[in-house]
Every structure is written in structure tokens, then in C-alpha cells.
């Protein structure tokens, strides 16, 4: 049995593992003693590998390139040469006709790794000539990236995952680590065992609430009112560190002009939190030697996401609970390489290494390195991923290149998203599975899967770690960076990398903060945490040591905001709040985990809608029954999970389900500062179904039809190429 | 000889279900479907996996009219071929740790199917007896909330508790004297 070192391709915890290979097939996983996982894995790490083997449990792997010669025609298998020539020609036509700004691309924060993403953004900027490149952070921790860059200078965790267990107080605000990062939840359990106090602020009674010393069940959509009140208490009770503020923080007086109005009493109606409980929480957090505040999608997928991130940063700064190993900020990233996508400049305003596209000096550096005239690199910020729907409707975007994402599953208002993708003039999808989004593409390019290529992932706490190939890509699937460089070469900007290390070394040369992270250093269980400017010096476990923030004046900036209500409040017709959450055993759009035997066996369609017993009772709904859930956007069938852990008046759906699809119900309303959708708050209604037998059959029928439709869509790839008689049907 | 079973500590459990996935994959699938033999149960205040306690006077063993459930040493085991699917054991088990599922068995002569029959299958924890490294749920639990409880560990824990009680008694006595 061979063993190949890898990093888990699921959440951002960065767990090291060995893939076990027998007869060219991955047959198992063994945990390794990585820096963040210490020899442990969760269910996705242990049992999330078999999708590589094309199990066809959910959807088939993509094995051969296919094109749709005309809209409406079926896909047709073609050679790589023909697929890439076709793609290059079509893209060039669109650029010639509408200009380079009419092409938009999205990177992949999942299996491909940093190198493939780097090559894709280089293709976007140096070959196509725009900054229309984004990644799924837009839909998740985008507000953390933006908000933290504004307030403290770096859009990442300031503490490391291992150090979380050494904090004296951990406050979780809109973050459910047991579902999103079990390996981080383990650190919190360990912290508790070592004597730490835990504070949980969440409308739902999440797993960590069970071990919390203080539980604050704030109302859905009240984050900013709550955080402002926390800051208000900190100042009014004299808990702030005046010396630290004088030396390392700017904007206090102006900020206080707003915050002074937010006494916990004044916002009690909004937050639902007893002022005394809020005071206890702030005192506990403020007076501990070292406190960490962790947050997740509960903060960011709101219309005031960036503003709450500003305020969380302010809270940590005024209390001097930042810049130490066990004190600081922990926005833990959802996807395995979403930190990496941001690191690699899959962001419309940033080059790799968080260097601004509108800075002429930075542009000059990249133009020189990439051997293009400066004017080829745009100084203009590109489109955001969530700009896609309106930009397509307004005729500004004509072509879209999707890399390993499934927007029809993961973006809000999927019914509208389908119209958007269908109305594109040209749509390329490069993926490993025939997803719902790929099924609409004009060009389907089969990339290699995690387990089939080498590379570097960035874990959530800025830790670069290498992963290696265990098996070869199946069929004609190719490494993603090879596809991008071949396409770029065809379009007049040649790229010729031989391996991922060459690409990575270019990243290092261009990004001073990553320079020290050599492949050699990351061999085996090695790692490098950025900023790591020097090869012979350790990386930074902790950001902002000694109050040195990464802003031009080295000071943190306090930015005040007033609370505003969520966009779509419940009413008589849609009386329930819908909040989308995450399934522990599944990942992203589910194309990977849904093809794994154990994970699909543990949880399958139509998923659940979690509701309070009172909300179920008045609708005549019993636990585990199928129900209708509907909103102004759509209607889906799902299963009731009736539990007292759910707060009354709100229902929760995990976004992994293709039949019980919550994004048919959510609305496309975004935080204006980040473009992140307000997935945590919209209005819906739930209805009992009288005939459960009929409903079960209906659900199974929908599921079988969807699987068949996608398998049929992929089927042309199995037809042998006419031009090449040596190719036989698979 | 006391019983040996798997016990979960709800204070360490994060409800992630890794134990269930491990259990599913450790055992042969039933009609191609992997099924776990322990159930992660969540109430408002508790999350913990529940599985067979291999009781020393097991109601499931006593309730089985066909002796399909029996003792193999201290372990409650199943003779699959004897099970008639009457569900007495399911009713008798105070832990809800037994389930019966139906499997399809096909009999053929010379490649021709002459009988498709449904056969009951008793699902319960077997302590991964065929696995030298012990139960898969215990080894994969990432917070180490699952432990094997057996005679030795019960003795140690009982002794520990008695020592603590003795120490407490000493403190109580000294305070009694002071008072």
C-alpha cells in the first residue's frame, strides 16, 4: 500500500493526512500529526476521499472535454485541442466585440490549490486584461477580509488555530465550529478543559452553547446592535485599555460619538438580550488575560457584515485583546483554500499577496514580472462574483469562466442565477464533476481532482501547507494550471510552467509576505505561516504583536456604524425568518461529499429544515415529516427537524441540498460594502404535507430525475471521438 | 467478569457524527448500504452517541425466543441465521441500541433466480471485535469523548471516586473539629 501526504480538501482547518493507495485507487485515509489537526480528523477527513474514484453516487466525474457548438444543442466530446481552440476563439471574439471588461472569471477555493488559482488570475490580468476575478469568499468571509483590512490591516485570523486552546476566554459570535470546523471545535473543548471560559452569542443553541459559561441568544439580524452595545459597555464600565488606545488605535473620539448611544438597555428590544447578561459577557471577555473572539457566517452573511467585522475588531482593540498568541481575532474560513484564493489575488481589487490593483507601483512590478506593457494590467477594480447577475442583465458581462464552483447551488436566489447563466453569450465551466452549474456550460473542461495533483493550500490561520498527488487524473482530465496556460498561450499570452513548484516560486517572488514559504520548508509535515518574508526565519503565528497593525500608520482604526434592520422582515404571509447554515458531513455544493459512500449514507436529500417545536406544532408538523418551505422566490420540499435547540420564529436550512435547496428561497440582497449575500435573513413560510407517502415518492422522483439529467448531460463524453479511431468509448 | 461497552462523555462530544461514519464504514454494508450501529442523540442540553451496553443480564438476550442473541464471553452477539425478525429485542432493550433491518437474499439455481426472500438483520454494536485496534468509533473520535468501559476501567474509576470521597471526608472531619 502506498501512502501520499495530503491536506484535507474540506474546511479551512488544514488537517494533514495520508491517502492510502492500492492498485491505483485511493482506498483510505490515515490522519497525520499536522500542526492544526494533531493526528485527528473529522468524518469528512476520514471518509471524504472516495469521490476521487468516480463512485457515481451523485454525479459522474468529468473525463473528457466537451463543447456545445450552439446554445440549446447537447454537449459534444472533442479533443483538448479543439476544446481549447474553440474556447480561445470565442473568448477573443467577445473581447474584440465588447472589450476585455466583458469577461468575468471565478477562481476555485476548493481542491485545486494556490498554484492553479495563481495561473488563472494571471491569465485574467495579463492575457484577458481585466480584474474581473473573484472567488467564493465573496459569499462567505468577504466581509471579514474587507472589514479587517480596513480596521487592522490584514484580512485573516490574527491568532493561530492551535493557540485557540490556550485562551482564557473564547467568545463565539455567529459561529458554529462543531458543524463547520470540528477540528477547531476540538480546540475549544480543549480550552474549556484547561479552564477557559466560553461565551456563545448565537440565536441557535449550538453545540458549543452546551459547554458555554454564558449563552447570549441574541435575535437573528441584531449583530451590529449587540456588538455596539458590547463596545458601549466596555467603555462605560472602564474596561478599556486607555494606554493601548492612545498608542495603537486611532479614531476613538469620533467612534464613541456613535457608540455612546448603544447602551445595552437601548437595544434590548432589538437584541433580546438582558443588559446584565451582556455586561457579564463583556466583563468576562475584557478582564481575562487573553481572550479570542471567533466569528463565522452568522456575522458575514448579513447586510451589515463588514460593519459588524469593523466593530468586532474595534471591540478587541479597545480592550487590548489582540496581538498576543492567545488573544485576538478568529474569523475561521469555511473552505479548505478560501484563504488561499484570497492570498492568490482571486479578488477584483487585489493582486496576489494583498497588493492593490489601483496602485501604479504595484502594477509596474507585476507588469515587469509578467512581461506585459503596464497598460495591459488594469488599474480598475473588477466585478465581484455577486455582481454577475446584474452585470449580465445590463449587458456588461458577456462571458463567464467558472472554475470549480457551483453557483446554482451556493449563490442566493438560484432560480434567478439559472437565468443569468443561460443568458450568457459564452460560458465555460472547468470542474471535476457534472454539477448543476456545469450542465449549462458551452464548454466543459475536466480538471484534476484533489488527490490527483500537487500544490499548496492556505489554512484558515494563514498556514501554507503542501499536498501531493496520490493517483493520476482519470480519462483525459488535466491539471488546472496546464489548462489555463494552454488557453493563455493560444490567446497570445504564452505561459510555460513545468510543475507547481515553478508557479509557487513566482508567487513567492511577487509577494514579499510569502517569500519565505519554500516548497522545501513545507516538505512532509512542514508549514509556513504568513507573513513569512524570509526563508530562514519563522513565519508569524500571531499578527499585530506589540500593537503593530498592518495599516499605513501602524494603528488600528475604529470605524463606527449605526444599526439597521435586515432587508426582508417576516410578515403575515411569510412569518418565519429563514437562515441558511451548514451540514457537518457535507461540503460546499456537495459534488464531492455527495459522491462519498459514508457521507451520503449519513445525510442525503432532501436535508432538513430545523424548527422550534412551537412553530412546528401550530403548523401541524411532526419531526421528520416532509414539508413545503417557500418564500417570495421559490418553493422546495424538505424534511422537518423539530428541536428545542432552534429558536422560535426562525427556521434553518443547510445549503448542501439539491432538492431541499434553500437557495431557491433566499434573496439576492447583498452587503453594499462587500457584495456578500444576506443569506442569514429572509422571510419564508413552512407548510405541512398531508400525504406523506406521496410526498416521499415525489421527493425521490425529483432526486432521481435530477441525477439522471446530470448523468445524461455528461454522457456525450463517453462517445468515442470520430477523428481518432484509437479512442474507444469508456 | 463485568461487561464491556462504549460510553460517550457529552461534555466532550461536539455532535459531529464522526463516530457514526466510522461505524458505518467499519461494518459490511447491508444490501449495499452502510448503516451505523450507534446513534448520535441530541437533546437541547446533550449530545452523545448511544450504543449497546452488552448488559450482564441483557433483556434482549432473555427476550429472544430463538436464541439469536447470546453471550460470547461478556459480549452480546447475534446469530443472524436464527433471527426471525420478531423485534422482541428491540422492544426489550432499554437503550434503544438494537435495530432490525430487512435485507434481500436471492437464491439461484444455475444462475436462475428462484427465490427472492427478505431476511431480518440485527443491527447492534459488536465492539468491532474483528478489528485488532478496537472499536472504530473510539479511535476516530476527535475529542476523545468515547471510551471503552470494562471491568478494569470501572474498578479504577470506582477506586478513584473512593479516594476522592476519603479526601473529602478528611476535610469534612477537620472542619467539623474546628467548628
Q: Tell me the three state secondary structure of residue A287.
A: helix
Contact between chains at B17 and A210 (C-beta distance less than 8 A) = no
Q: Which among B21, B43, B47 has CB closest to A43?
A: B21
Instruction: Suggest the residue from A601, A608, A642, A646 to mutate for an interface test with chain B (most B CBs closer than 10 A).
Output: A601
**Nearest chain B CA: its distance from A604 CA (Å):** 13
Contact between chains at B36 and A602 (C-beta distance less than 8 A) = yes
Q: Which among B14, B25, B44 has CB closest to A598?
A: B25
Query: How does residue B163 score in pLDDT terms, banded at 50, 70 and 90?
Result: very high
Instruction: Suggest the residue from A56, A190, A597 to mutate for an interface test with chain B (most B CBs closer than 10 A).
Output: A597
For the record, the C-alpha cell of B31 comes out as 444490501
For the record, the C-alpha cell of A622 comes out as 411532526
Residue B115 parent element (H or E): strand B112-123
Q: Tens digits of per-residue pLDDT, A272-290?
A: 999 999 999 999 999 999 9
Contact between chains at B22 and A46 (C-beta distance less than 8 A) = yes
Residue A106 phi, psi (nearest 5): -130, 135
Give the nearest chain B residue to A176 (CA atoms). B14
CATH level 3 topology of A142-332: Dimethylsulfoxide Reductase; domain 2 (3.40.228)
Spatial distance between the Cα atoms of B140 and B135, rounded to a whole number of angstroms? 9
| Contact of A413 with A105, CB cutoff 8 Å | no
Terminal-to-terminal C-alpha distance of chain A: 27
Q: Which among A40, A179, A193 has CB closest to B142?
A: A40
Task: Write the DSSP assignment of B14-78 as a string of letters.
Answer: ----HHHHHHHHHS--BTTB---SSEEEE-SS-EEEE-----TT-HHHHH-TT--EEEETTEEEE
Positive or negative: CA dihedral A88, A90, A94, A96:
positive
Residue A253 phi, psi (nearest 5): -60, -45
**Nearest chain A CA: its distance from B109 CA (Å):** 31
| % chain A with pLDDT above 90 | 95
Q: Which among B33, B47, B140 has CB closest to A210?
A: B47
**Nearest chain A CA: its distance from B23 CA (Å):** 10
With 90 as the cut, is the pLDDT of residue B110 above it? no
Query: How does residue A728 score in pLDDT terms, banded at 50, 70 and 90?
Result: very low
Contact between chains at A602 and B20 (C-beta distance less than 8 A) = yes
CA distances from A54 to A438, A510, B32 (A): 17, 37, 17
Query: How does residue A644 score in pLDDT terms, banded at 50, 70 and 90?
Result: very high
Which residues of chain B approach chain A closer than 8 Å at the C-beta?
A: 10-12, 14-18, 20-22, 24-25, 33-36, 42-47, 140, 142-143
Task: Write the DSSP assignment of A299-322 as a string of letters.
Answer: HHSSTTHHHHHHHHHHHHHHTT--
Give the nearest chain A residue to B17 (CA atoms). A43
Spatial distance between the Cα atoms of A560 and A439, rounded to a whole number of angstroms? 45
Positive or negative: CA dihedral A697, A698, A702, A703:
negative
Q: Which among B17, B18, B143 has CB closest to A189?
A: B143
pLDDT score for B175 = 78
Spatial distance between the Cα atoms of A37 and A183, rounded to a whole number of angstroms? 6
Q: Tell me the three state secondary structure of residue B168.
A: helix
- Cβ neighbours, 10 Å, residue A719: 14
Give the nearest chain B residue to A210 (CA atoms). B45
Choose among A97, A150, A95: nearest CA to A491. A95
Give the nearest chain A residue to B18 (CA atoms). A43
Choose among A362, A433, A521, A341: nearest CA to A61. A433
With 90 as the cut, is the pLDDT of residue A727 above it? no
Query: How does residue A666 score in pLDDT terms, banded at 50, 70 and 90?
Result: very high
Query: How does residue B117 score in pLDDT terms, banded at 50, 70 and 90?
Result: confident
Average pLDDT over residues A145-162: 95
Q: Tens digits of per-residue pLDDT, A39-71?
A: 999 999 999 999 999 999 999 999 999 999 999
Choose among A134, A48, A139, A42: nearest CA to A580. A139
With 60 as the cut, is the pLDDT of residue B179 above it? no
Spatial distance between the Cα atoms of B6 and B1, rounded to a whole number of angstroms? 16
- In chain A, which residues have their Cβ closer than 8 Å to the Cβ of B14? 177-178, 182, 185-186, 189, 207-208
- Cβ neighbours, 10 Å, residue A358: 13
Contact between chains at A597 and B140 (C-beta distance less than 8 A) = no
Contact between chains at A43 and B15 (C-beta distance less than 8 A) = no
| Contact of A230 with A282, CB cutoff 8 Å | yes
CA distances from A318 to A59, A329, A601, A678 (A): 51, 13, 48, 28
By DSSP bridging, strand A133-134 and strand A103-106 are: parallel
CA angle (B118 as vertex; B117, B124 as ends), nearest 5: 145
pLDDT score for B173 = 84
- In chain B, which residues have their Cβ closer than 8 Å to the Cβ of A186? 14, 142-143
Cβ-Cβ contacts under 8 Å between A and B: the total is 80
Contact between chains at B42 and A643 (C-beta distance less than 8 A) = yes
- In chain A, which residues have their Cβ closer than 8 Å to the Cβ of B40? none
Please give the DSSP secondary-structure letter assigned to residue B114: E
Contact between chains at A189 and B14 (C-beta distance less than 8 A) = yes
Contact between chains at B16 and A178 (C-beta distance less than 8 A) = yes
Instruction: Suggest the residue from B37, B141, B143 to mutate for an interface test with chain A (most A CBs closer than 10 A).
Output: B143
The owner of cell 493557540 is A163
pLDDT score for A209 = 98
Contact between chains at A597 and B14 (C-beta distance less than 8 A) = no
Determine what percent of chain B falls in helix, strand and coil, rounding each to the nearest 5. 30, 25, 40
Please give the DSSP secondary-structure letter assigned to residue A650: E
- Burial (CB count within 10 angstroms: exposed 0-12, middle 13-18, buried 19+), residue A263: middle
Q: Tell me the three state secondary structure of residue B132.
A: coil
Contact between chains at B10 and A41 (C-beta distance less than 8 A) = no
The owner of cell 449587458 is A395
Instruction: Suggest the residue from A186, A205, A582 to mutate for an interface test with chain B (most B CBs closer than 10 A).
Output: A186
Q: Give CA A238 to chain center in angstroms.
A: 38
Instruction: Suggest the residue from B142, B144, B145, B146 to mutate for an interface test with chain A (most A CBs closer than 10 A).
Output: B142
| Contact of A151 with A145, CB cutoff 8 Å | no
By DSSP bridging, strand A626-630 and strand A682-688 are: antiparallel
Query: How does residue A695 score in pLDDT terms, banded at 50, 70 and 90?
Result: very high
**Nearest chain B CA: its distance from A392 CA (Å):** 40
From the DSSP assignment, how many helices (H) and strands (E) are in chain B? 5, 8
Contact between chains at B21 and A205 (C-beta distance less than 8 A) = no
Give residues with Cβ within 8 angstroms of B97, minimum separation 6.
Answer: B38, B39, B50, B51, B52, B53, B124, B125
- In chain B, which residues have their Cβ closer than 8 Å to the Cβ of A206? none
Give the nearest chain A residue to B44 (CA atoms). A645
A80-98 helix and A480-490 helix, angle to the nearest 10 degrees: 60
- In chain A, which residues have their Cβ closer than 8 Å to the Cβ of B25? 46-47, 597-598
- In chain A, which residues have their Cβ closer than 8 Å to the Cβ of B11? 211
- In chain A, which residues have their Cβ closer than 8 Å to the Cβ of B42? 643, 645
Which residues of chain A approach chain B closer than 8 Å at the C-beta?
A: 40-43, 46-47, 177-179, 182-183, 185-186, 189-190, 193, 205, 207-208, 210-211, 584-585, 597-599, 601-602, 643-645
Q: Tell me the three state secondary structure of residue B8.
A: strand
Contact between chains at A597 and B43 (C-beta distance less than 8 A) = no
- Cβ neighbours, 10 Å, residue B120: 16
The owner of cell 466585478 is A383
Please give the DSSP secondary-structure letter assigned to residue A478: B
Q: Which among A185, A190, A602 has CB closest to B17?
A: A602
CA angle (A449 as vertex; A443, A455 as ends), nearest 5: 115
pLDDT score for B178 = 62
Q: What mean pLDDT value characterizes chain A?
A: 96
Please give the DSSP secondary-structure letter assigned to residue A677: B
Positive or negative: CA dihedral A699, A705, A711, A714:
negative
Residue A85 phi, psi (nearest 5): -60, -45
Q: Tens digits of per-residue pLDDT, A197-224?
A: 999 999 999 999 999 999 999 999 999 9
Spatial distance between the Cα atoms of A286 and A278, rounded to a whole number of angstroms? 12
Give the nearest chain B residue to A45 (CA atoms). B18
Q: Tell me the three state secondary structure of residue A17.
A: strand
pLDDT score for A723 = 65
Q: What is the ipTM of this complex?
A: 0.93
Q: Which among A205, A601, A602 has CB closest to B44?
A: A205
pLDDT score for A404 = 94
Contact between chains at A597 and B25 (C-beta distance less than 8 A) = yes
Contact between chains at B47 and A207 (C-beta distance less than 8 A) = yes
Contact between chains at A42 and B42 (C-beta distance less than 8 A) = no
- Cβ neighbours, 10 Å, residue A354: 21
Choose among A494, A490, A514: nearest CA to A114. A514
pLDDT score for A724 = 57
Q: Where are the domains of chain B?
A: 5-150
Give the nearest chain A residue to B11 (CA atoms). A211
Amino acid at each position: 500500500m502506498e501512502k501520499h501526504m495530503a491536506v484535507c480538501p474540506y474546511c479551512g482547518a488544514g488537517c494533514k493526512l495520508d491517502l492510502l493507495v492500492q492498485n491505483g485507487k485511493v482506498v483510505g485515509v490515515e490522519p497525520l500529526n499536522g500542526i492544526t489537526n494533531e493526528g485527528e480528523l473529522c468524518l469528512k477527513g476520514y471518509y471524504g476521499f472516495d469521490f476521487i474514484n468516480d463512485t457515481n453516487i451523485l454525479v459522474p466525474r468529468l473525463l473528457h472535454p466537451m463543447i456545445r457548438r450552439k446554445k440549446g444543442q447537447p454537449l459534444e466530446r472533442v479533443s483538448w485541442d479543439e476544446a481549447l481552440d474553440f474556447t480561445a476563439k470565442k473568448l477573443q471574439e467577445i473581447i474584440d466585440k465588447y472589450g476585455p471588461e466583458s469577461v468575468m472569471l471565478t477562481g476555485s477555493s476548493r481542491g485545486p490549490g494556490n498554484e492553479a488559482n495563481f495561473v488563472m488570475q494571471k491569465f485574467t490580468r495579463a492575457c484577458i486584461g481585466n480584474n474581473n476575478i473573484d472567488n467564493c469568499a465573496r459569499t462567505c468571509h468577504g466581509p471579514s477580509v474587507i472589514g479587517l483590512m480596513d480596521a487592522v490591516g490584514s484580512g485573516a485570523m490574527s491568532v493561530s488555530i492551535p493557540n485557540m486552546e490556550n485562551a482564557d476566554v473564547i467568545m463565539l459570535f455567529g459561529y458554529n465550529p462543531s458543524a463547520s470546523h470540528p477540528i477547531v471545535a476540538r480546540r475549544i473543548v480543549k480550552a474549556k478543559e484547561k479552564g477557559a471560559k466560553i461565551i456563545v452569542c448565537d440565536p441557535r443553541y449550538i453545540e458549543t452553547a452546551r459547554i458555554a459559561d454564558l449563552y447570549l441568544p441574541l435575535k437573528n439580524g441584531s449583530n451590529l446592535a449587540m456588538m455596539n452595545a458590547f463596545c458601549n459597555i466596555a467603555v462605560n464600565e472602564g474596561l478599556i485599555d486607555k494606554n493601548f488606545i492612545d498608542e495603537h488605535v486611532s479614531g476613538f473620539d469620533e467612534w464613541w460619538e456613535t457608540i455612546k448611544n448603544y447602551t445595552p438597555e437601548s437595544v434590548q428590544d432589538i437584541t433580546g438580550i438582558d443588559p446584565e447578561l451582556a455586561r457579564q459577557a463583556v466583563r468576562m471577555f475584557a478582564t481575562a488575560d487573553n481572550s479570542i473572539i471567533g466569528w463565522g457566517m452568522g456575522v458575514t452573511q448579513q447586510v451589515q457584515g463588514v460593519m459588524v467585522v469593523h466593530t468586532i475588531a474595534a471591540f478587541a482593540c479597545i480592550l487590548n485583546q489582540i496581538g498576543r498568541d492567545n488573544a485576538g481575532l478568529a474569523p475561521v474560513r469555511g473552505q479548505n483554500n478560501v484563504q488561499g484564493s484570497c492570498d492568490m489575488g482571486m479578488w477584483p481589487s487585489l493582486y496576489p499577496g494583498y497588493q492593490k490593483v489601483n496602485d501604479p507601483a504595484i502594477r509596474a512590478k507585476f507588469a515587469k514580472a509578467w512581461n506585459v506593457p503596464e497598460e495591459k494590467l488594469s488599474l480598475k477594480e473588477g466585478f465581484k462574483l455577486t455582481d454577475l447577475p446584474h452585470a449580465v442583465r445590463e449587458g456588461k458581462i458577456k462571458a463567464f469562466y467558472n472554475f470549480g464552483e457551483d453557483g446554482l447551488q451556493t449563490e442566493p436566489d438560484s432560480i434567478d442565477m439559472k437565468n443569468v447563466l443561460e443568458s450568457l453569450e459564452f460560458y465555460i465551466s472547468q470542474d471535476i464533476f457534472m454539477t448543476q452549474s456545469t450542465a449549462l456550460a458551452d464548454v466543459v473542461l475536466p480538471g484534476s481532482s484533489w488527490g490527483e495533483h500537487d500544490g499548496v493550500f492556505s489554512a484558515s490561520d494563514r498556514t501554507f501547507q503542501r499536498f501531493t498527488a496520490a493517483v493520476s487524473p482519470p480519462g483525459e482530465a488535466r491539471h488546472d494550471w496546464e489548462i489555463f496556460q494552454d488557453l493563455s498561450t493560444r490567446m497570445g499570452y504564452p505561459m510555460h510552467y513545468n510543475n507547481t513548484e515553478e508557479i509557487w516560486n513566482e508567487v513567492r517572488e511577487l509577494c514579499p509576505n510569502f517569500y519565505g514559504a519554500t516548497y522545501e520548508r513545507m516538505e512532509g509535515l512542514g508549514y509556513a505561516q504568513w507573513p513569512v518574508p524570509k526563508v530562514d526565519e519563522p513565519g508569524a503565528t500571531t499578527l499585530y504583536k506589540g500593537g503593530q497593525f498592518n495599516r499605513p500608520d501602524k494603528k488600528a482604526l475604529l470605524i463606527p456604524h449605526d444599526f439597521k434592520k435586515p432587508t426582508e422582515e417576516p410578515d403575515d404571509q411569510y412569518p418565519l425568518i429563514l437562515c441558511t447554515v451548514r451540514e457537518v458531513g457535507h461540503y460546499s455544493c456537495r459534488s464531492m461529499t455527495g459522491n462519498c459512500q459514508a457521507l451520503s449514507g449519513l445525510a442525503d436529500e432532501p436535508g432538513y429544515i430545523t424548527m422550534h417545536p412551537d412553530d412546528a406544532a401550530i403548523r401541524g408538523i411532526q419531526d421528520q415529516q416532509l414539508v413545503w418551505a417557500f418564500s417570495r422566490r421559490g418553493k422546495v420540499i424538505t424534511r422537518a427537524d423539530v428541536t428545542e435547540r432552534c429558536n422560535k420564529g426562525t427556521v434553518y436550512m443547510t445549503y448542501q441540498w439539491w432538492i431541499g435547496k434553500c437557495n431557491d428561497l433566499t434573496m439576492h440582497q447583498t452587503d453594499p460594502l462587500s457584495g456578500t449575500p444576506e443569506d442569514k435573513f429572509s422571510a419564508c413560510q413552512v407548510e405541512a404535507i398531508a400525504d406523506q407517502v406521496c410526498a416521499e415518492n415525489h421527493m425521490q422522483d425529483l432526486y432521481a430525475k435530477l441525477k439522471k439529467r446530470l448523468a445524461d448531460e455528461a454522457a456525450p463524453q463517453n462517445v468515442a471521438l470520430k477523428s481518432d479511431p484509437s479512442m474507444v468509448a469508456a | 467478569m463485568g461487561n464491556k461497552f462504549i460510553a460517550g462523555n457529552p461534555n466532550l462530544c461536539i455532535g459531529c457524527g464522526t463516530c457514526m461514519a466510522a461505524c458505518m464504514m467499519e461494518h459490511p454494508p447491508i444490501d449495499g448500504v452502510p448503516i451505523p450501529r450507534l446513534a448520535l442523540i441530541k437533546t437541547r442540553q446533550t449530545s452523545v452517541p448511544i450504543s449497546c451496553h452488552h448488559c450482564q443480564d441483557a433483556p434482549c438476550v432473555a427476550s429472544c425466543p430463538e436464541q439469536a442473541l447470546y453471550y460470547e464471553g461478556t459480549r452480546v452477539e447475534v446469530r443472524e441465521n436464527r433471527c426471525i425478525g420478531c423485534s422482541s429485542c428491540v422492544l426489550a432493550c432499554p437503550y434503544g441500541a438494537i435495530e432490525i433491518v430487512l435485507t434481500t437474499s436471492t437464491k439461484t439455481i444455475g444462475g436462475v433466480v428462484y427465490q427472492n426472500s427478505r431476511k431480518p438483520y440485527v443491527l447492534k454494536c459488536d465492539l468491532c471485535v474483528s478489528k485488532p485496534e478496537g472499536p472504530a468509533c473510539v479511535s476516530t473520535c476527535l475529542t476523545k469523548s468515547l471510551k471503552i468501559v470494562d471491568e478494569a476501567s470501572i474498578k479504577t474509576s470506582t477506586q478513584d471516586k473512593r479516594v476522592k470521597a476519603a479526601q473529602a471526608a478528611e476535610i469534612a472531619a477537620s472542619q467539623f473539629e474546628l467548628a
